[in-house]
Amino acid sequence: MKSAMDFEVQVIESSFVTPSEPAPRKELWLSSLDLWLANQGHTPTIYLYSSSKDAAAADHFFDVARLKEAMARALVAFYPLAGRLGVNDADGRMEISCNGEGALFVVAQADDLTADDVKKFKPSPELRRLFVPLVEPSSIMLAVQVTFLKCGGVALGTALHHIAVDALSAFHFFQTWSAFSKHGDHATVELPCHDRTRLCARSPPTVHPDALLTFYPKHAFSDPLALGPLAIQVLTISKDQIASLKLLCGGGTTSTFCAVSALMWQCTCIARQLPPNSQARLAFPADLRRRMRPPLQSHYFGNAVFRLCVTGVAWDIATEKLGSVAGRIRGAIDRMDDELVRSAIDYFEMDEKDNRPPRGTLPLTDLHISSWLGRPQYDADFGWGKPELMSLAENHRGGFVFLMNNDDGAGSGGVRLLMCMEAVNIKELVRLLYAKL
């Protein structure tokens, strides 16, 4: 079977889309949580659409002029995405210059690729090369690429700078853009909140002594060559398997995230054959919007996440009941209160920033799980139906796992796991995961 590296796409046009109405022109202050994610660069995602579901709707399928007009309207409210990353002259702090220069919009053609081909590709640098626009200069906040496929379908690749938004804010923008495309003047949209001063550090910054035991400031990356080649694996856990997994975890109020993360952590510790007395560590981003007092606005636009951390003796994680492992994760989430949030903000404000892109892989004792579960991942109907697939276009760092909704339009539900792990252990890890389901 051919891989993504065996194909090419042809760029037809490249332009910038600017707000359709005058938008605020100012320098947007960035919180310490924004700056903490500056070196992550642009997050690459892909939405896959088919034109075969409704022949009538296929007329002018993914009309470029309509998409650009809708984006221009959305950028009026989401004006930071039409700006550029800059640096404040007075203090050297990074900021977004809301100057209305626009978002990059690329149109491309893939004469040899069908939607079925794209579905078979795993997240990879090659997949990103095909469908996600190369962002130059890197100060551009938003770039999209509409690629027309041989079958008549469309791959919509997106790149959003992580310094500007977290996943929830990104999905809010795509919901709004697609709503303007589908409904025009009748679109119902919720305006974003751009007041990032709610996440200012305290004066003076103060970190609670217990806070560093709960949130995870920095990943320690290893030399990627030390652990050997990496492998990408995409797994699916069905809705029924999720229900059974929750029962294994004690049922009740066990969340899908806690249940799946507990399973993944336990199986990873076993597959990696960690020394029994070593400290295993699980880290995951957590949303703080509802944890602050008073709560942050639900449509706060920016980064409102930081990593929580759970540690345990590897033997214990590998052998105790799955419900106990899930309880450890739930406990870390429950300890996330206003003081912990404030301590994290203050810590990152005091911390010296390293703006180099993260390189390498996590040590075998560490696992990082990011979750988009429950997010409006598939709410991007531009007028021609919801996407058949929405996914990261690339996951290249060892030890990182993404949990995503598995909604293929057929109501299958369940969870998709995108894993980048050391190749020597991934086969046994997959076997263990399915053996426990």
pLDDT digits (tens, 9 = 90+) for 305-328: 999 999 999 999 999 999 999 999
Model confidence band, residue 7 (pLDDT cutoffs 50, 70, 90): confident
Q: Are residues 217 and 154 in the same domain?
A: no
> What is the per-residue pLDDT for 53?
54
162 catalytic per annotation:
yes
**Least reliable range by pLDDT among 165-179, 225-239, 380-394:** 225-239
Of 199, 229, 245, at which residue does a domain stop? Answer: 199
**Least reliable range by pLDDT among 23-32, 219-228, 246-255:** 219-228
Q: Are residues 190 and 289 in the same domain?
A: no
Average pLDDT of span 100-110: 98
Q: Are residues 189 and 225 in the same domain?
A: no
Domain presence at residue 1: no
> What is the per-residue pLDDT for 56?
45
Model confidence band, residue 412 (pLDDT cutoffs 50, 70, 90): low
Average pLDDT of span 202-226: 82
Domain presence at residue 231: yes
Q: Are residues 113 and 259 in the same domain?
A: no
Model confidence band, residue 210 (pLDDT cutoffs 50, 70, 90): confident
Q: Are residues 106 and 222 in the same domain?
A: no
Q: Which domain holds residue 334?
A: 211-435
Q: For 8-28, give one letter per residue: b (16+ CB within 10 A) or e.
A: ebeeeeeeebbbbeebeeeeb
232 and 420 Cβ atoms separated by less than 8 Å: yes
Q: Among residues of the chain, what percentage have pLDDT more than 70?
A: 95
Q: Are residues 287 and 239 in the same domain?
A: yes
Domain presence at residue 205: no
Please provide the average confidence, as pLDDT, over all residues in the chain: 92
Q: Which of 63, 337, 351, 381 is the catalytic position?
A: 381
Q: Are residues 136 and 239 in the same domain?
A: no
What is the DSSP pairing of strand 279-287 with strand 366-371? parallel
Q: Are residues 259 and 193 in the same domain?
A: no
Q: Which of 42, 162, 172, 194 is the catalytic position?
A: 162
Comparing 39 with 53, which gets the higher pLDDT?
39
Among the listed residues 93, 67, 97, 64, the one whose alpha carbon sits nearest the alpha carbon of residue 79: 97
Q: Are residues 149 and 224 in the same domain?
A: no
Answer yes or no: is pLDDT of 148 > 90.
yes
Query: Two tokens at 114?
Result: 């069908």
> What is the per-residue pLDDT for 408?
57
Answer yes or no: is pLDDT of 220 > 70.
yes
> What is the per-residue pLDDT for 52?
65
Answer yes or no: is pLDDT of 340 > 70.
yes
Average pLDDT of span 358-382: 92
Average pLDDT of span 53-59: 53
Q: Are residues 138 and 261 in the same domain?
A: no
Q: Among residues of the chain, what percentage have pLDDT more than 90?
A: 84
134 and 171 Cβ atoms separated by less than 8 Å: no
Model confidence band, residue 352 (pLDDT cutoffs 50, 70, 90): confident
Comparing 228 with 308, which gets the higher pLDDT?
308
Q: Are residues 100 and 122 in the same domain?
A: yes
Model confidence band, residue 414 (pLDDT cutoffs 50, 70, 90): very high
Answer yes or no: is pLDDT of 409 > 70.
no
Q: Are residues 169 and 308 in the same domain?
A: no
> What is the per-residue pLDDT for 55?
43
**Least reliable range by pLDDT among 241-250, 356-365, 419-428:** 356-365
Q: In 10 A of CB 296, how many CB atoms? A: 20
What is the tally of structural domains in the chain? 2
368 catalytic per annotation:
no
Average pLDDT of span 46-68: 81
> What is the per-residue pLDDT for 60?
86
Of 199, 231, 263, at which residue does a domain stop? Answer: 199
31 and 345 Cβ atoms separated by less than 8 Å: yes
Answer yes or no: is pLDDT of 300 > 90.
yes
CATH number, domain of 58, equals 3.30.559.10
